[in-house]
Amino acid sequence: AQRVTQPEKLLSVFKGAPVELKCNYSYSGSPELFWYVQYSRQRLQLLLRHISRESIKGFTADLNKGETSFHLKKPFAQEEDSAMYYCALSGRAGGTSYGKLTFGQGTILTVHP
Amino acid sequence: DAGVIQSPRHEVTEMGQEVTLRCKPISGHDYLFWYRQTMMRGLELLIYFNNNVPIDDSGMPEDRFSAKMPNASFSTLKIQPSEPRDSAVYFCASRAGGGMNTEAFFGQGTRLTVV
């Protein structure tokens, strides 16, 4: 079975402060991991994926297989980062649940001025 | 492409009534997902299809829920009979390929209220 856990439902920080949104996963295989974001009144959209090792809007996420984590980080939060963030896992080819895309419970990030 | 299209955007119905939610995926996408979003549980996967075939429906909460995908461009999620605890936002998403880090594209959701 594949499972994604985001332990924090709500996270509040002040503008300019560092932010870390936690994500832990459970999967019997090598997963593909993503972060999706939902801004107010907008569709859920992809923020970044672990395979790309990219930084989007200043956010980065590193896959730690030892800790089965994929935490999302940003050194200096901005007010426009306020949104709902979801961590997601997809089964890889050749493994069980290939193609299945599972999301965590989500974390609402609020960045105060 | 207009993206994933869901209808209706809002649905208010009385307990016991049948509700049908509709989804048109992005053309060419071979995976389609139905999710339910609530504050308590976040984004729950209900069912997903590959090439119009249901692959995993283990997330469907009860027999009252059913989903179909008669062709590559249309899917429905039906609740019969509906109950107040079914009130939530239901999302449809589609994806090209099951892996290789392909992005899933979401519809705008259907907000269902059962009174």
Question: Could you read off the pLDDT of A90-112 as tens digits, one per residue?
Answer: 876 555 567 888 999 999 999 99
Q: Searching chain A, which residue's CA lies closest to the CA of residue B108?
A: A43
Task: Choose, out of B101, B103, B108, B111, the residue to mutate when testing the contact with A (most A CBs < 10 Å).
Answer: B101
Give yes or no for a contact between B78 and B69, defined as CB atoms under 8 angstroms apart. no
Task: Say whether A50 sits in a helix, a strand or coil.
Answer: helix
B6 CA to centre of own chain: 9
**Distance between CA atoms of A14 and A112, rounded to whole angstroms?**
5
Whether A99 and B99 lie within 8 Å, measured CB to CB? yes
List chain A residues with CB under 8 Å of B48: 99-101
A3 lies within 8 A of chain B by CB: no
- pLDDT tens digits for chain A (113 residues)? 789 999 999 999 999 999 999 999 998 877 889 999 999 989 999 999 887 777 889 999 989 989 999 999 999 999 999 999 999 998 765 555 678 889 999 999 999 99
Angle at A105 between CA A9 and CA B31, to 5 degrees: 150
